[in-house]
Amino acid sequence: MKKTFVIDTNVLLQSPCAIYHFEDNDVVIPAVVLEELDKFKKDSSELGANAREVSRILDDLRMTGNISTGVLLDSGGMLRIELNCENVRLPECWDPKKNDNRVLKVCLGLKEEGLNVILVSKDIFERIKAEIVGVTAQDFYAEQVPDYEQQYTGRCTVYAEDEKINGFYDFGYMDTDGLYLNYENSVMAGDYLTVNQFLIINSLTNNNHAALGRYDGNRVVKLWHSKERPFGVSPRNANQKFIQEALMMDSEQAPLVILKGPAGTAKTFYSLAVGLQQVLDEKAYRKILVCRPNVKMDEDIGFLPGTEQEKIAPYMRPIIDNLEILLDSENKDKFIHEHELRDKIQELFDRNIINTEAIAFIRGRSIVGQWVIIDEAQNLTPKQVKGIITRAGAGTKIILAGDPFQIDHPFLDTRTNGLCFAAEKMKGSKLAYQISLGEEDCERSPLSYESSKRM
């Protein structure tokens, strides 16, 4: 049976082209949705840009027919703006003038006409209310990735004979023949590996014999940078060695690095350490650019008082905290020479070695020769993360870092945020390297590790 999808405002504000994702079914946009979109059209935020994009799409469709009765979509379905259903009754405790409830009125009115109605909304409460009045509701799935447990981690444990591991140490590479994912069931690893996947290679017979490598698409190669100490930092576990390897590869070979994991797993710390090494010592990049998405800041930055740097300074405090650790190698002197430490950090900003910007100001730019850290990237939308990655010019390296379980955006989750979206879409690309970290990788402090396990 043909379906009729009623689209909520929040879907279009996140995905302006959402109307094209419903195959040959009909798409209905309630008139109140147009009113809500109209409120955003002058905003300089991502929401404003998306609202304007929706208006252009609807204007083009309007030219092909009567949009109030229905215009044909390329997918074979029909799109129309619904103006009726005002007399539909909702539960008395619900305000009939509230926009969300006006959308529900349209759903109920169309259902009373005998249509197979499905409300599509990013608003969980709206979906709950729809179910209460007997309307099927769902999230917008077109930009969703698998559940977090099924998402690509960028790393894998395999098993091999001692002789094969010895040869790997001697020659620096090995083929995938004789590599097992599960030796007991004779599951060979070769058919399941992904380009740029990092490997922990364990011996089949000796628990103390292992190696670390990376699958390059043809064979497993050794890690070239695991012995280095960027800005005096040494990797403390296998996953940090993988992070260091990905970060220290040049921008031609590894222009994109994606780091997912909970707080305290050194994602931002390592990104800054290697970045400072590459900019100050290796002269491989012009400068470091740090951005931290924040929903409120990105939408309201034009209205906040002060310069751009003054506006975003409160959101960059975690970056300063990491710089304090990196620049103050002797912990015993930290509080004795606090003013000297502050001067060192300020000098990095004064000399433009490190710059900070709001995500809103990256749109439309071409970023050349820079080390770009997007911290808290889980608060990006898929469209925003695409816009950032496509800004990379020659000689630029982009690091996306974040915790998919610490999302502040009201309409994002572990399946729809930009960090996880980019990780899944870039899986298998020769230009992308990624590592997902777990609670066991927490290196901040014993308390941080203990709390990450318990809370």
Spacing of C-alpha 268 from chain mean position: 14
Ramachandran category for residue 221: left, alpha or beta (phi over 0 → left; psi -120 to 50 → alpha) = beta
Per DSSP, the three-state class of 55 is: helix
Whether the CB-CB separation of 248 and 315 falls below 8 Å is answered with no
CB-based contacts of 208, cutoff 8 Å, min separation 6: none
How would DSSP label each residue in 95-153? -TTSHHHHHHHHHHHHHHTT-EEEEE-S-HHHHHHHHHTT-EEE---TT----GGGS--
Beta-bridged to residue 432, according to DSSP, are 256
Question: How would you classify the pairing of strands 173-174 and 180-182?
Answer: unpaired
pTM (2 d.p.): 0.83
CB-based contacts of 172, cutoff 8 Å, min separation 6: 221, 222
Region(s) of the chain under CATH 3.40.50.1010: 3-138
Report the distance separating Cα 194 and Cα 351, nearest Å.
Answer: 41
Question: How would you classify the pairing of strands 136-138 and 210-215?
Answer: unpaired
Phi and psi of 119, rounded to 5°?
A: -85, 130
Report the distance separating Cα 367 and Cα 187, nearest Å.
Answer: 44
Report the distance separating Cα 408 and Cα 388, nearest Å.
Answer: 19
CATH architecture of 250-454: 3-Layer(aba) Sandwich (3.40)
Spacing of C-alpha 174 from chain mean position: 33
Region(s) of the chain under CATH 3.40.50.300: 250-454
What does the pLDDT profile of the chain (455 residues) look like in tens digits?
A: 899 999 999 999 989 999 999 999 999 999 999 999 999 998 877 788 899 999 999 999 999 999 999 999 998 999 999 987 878 889 999 998 899 999 999 999 999 999 999 999 999 999 999 999 999 999 998 878 999 999 999 999 999 999 999 999 999 999 999 999 976 667 889 889 999 999 999 999 998 999 999 999 999 999 999 999 999 999 999 999 999 999 999 999 999 999 999 988 999 999 999 999 999 999 999 999 999 886 444 455 554 455 666 667 777 888 999 999 898 764 455 545 678 888 889 999 999 999 988 787 776 678 999 999 999 999 998 988 998 999 899 999 999 999 999 998 888 899 999 999 999 999 999 999 999 999 888 877 777 667 766 76
Of the CA atoms within 13 Å of residue 374, those in its CB half-sphere come to 31
CA nearest to 250, candidates 432, 395, 412: 395
CATH superfamily of 3-138: 5'-nuclease (3.40.50.1010)
Tokens of 363: 């749109």
Of the CA atoms within 13 Å of residue 91, those in its CB half-sphere come to 8
Question: pLDDT (tens digit, 9 = 90+) per residue, 290-329?
Answer: 998 864 444 555 544 556 666 677 778 889 999 998 987 6
CA nearest to 288, candidates 298, 301, 299, 273: 273
Question: pLDDT (tens digit, 9 = 90+) per residue, 159-217?
Answer: 999 999 999 999 999 999 999 997 666 788 988 999 999 999 999 999 899 999 999 99
Burial category of 48 from C-beta neighbours within 10 Å (exposed 0-12, middle 13-18, buried 19 and up): middle
Res 307: pLDDT: 60
Report the distance separating Cα 140 and Cα 130, nearest Å.
Answer: 15
Region(s) of the chain under CATH 2.30.130: 145-222
Report the distance separating Cα 373 and Cα 399, nearest Å.
Answer: 5
Which amino acid type is present at position 357? E
Phi and psi of 113, rounded to 5°?
A: -80, 0
Phi and psi of 320, rounded to 5°?
A: -60, -40
Please report where in the chains the tokens 């490190």 appear, as a residue: 354
Tokens of 413: 């989750």
Which CATH number among 1.10.3720, 2.40.50, 2.30.130, 3.30.43 corresponds to the domain 145-222? 2.30.130
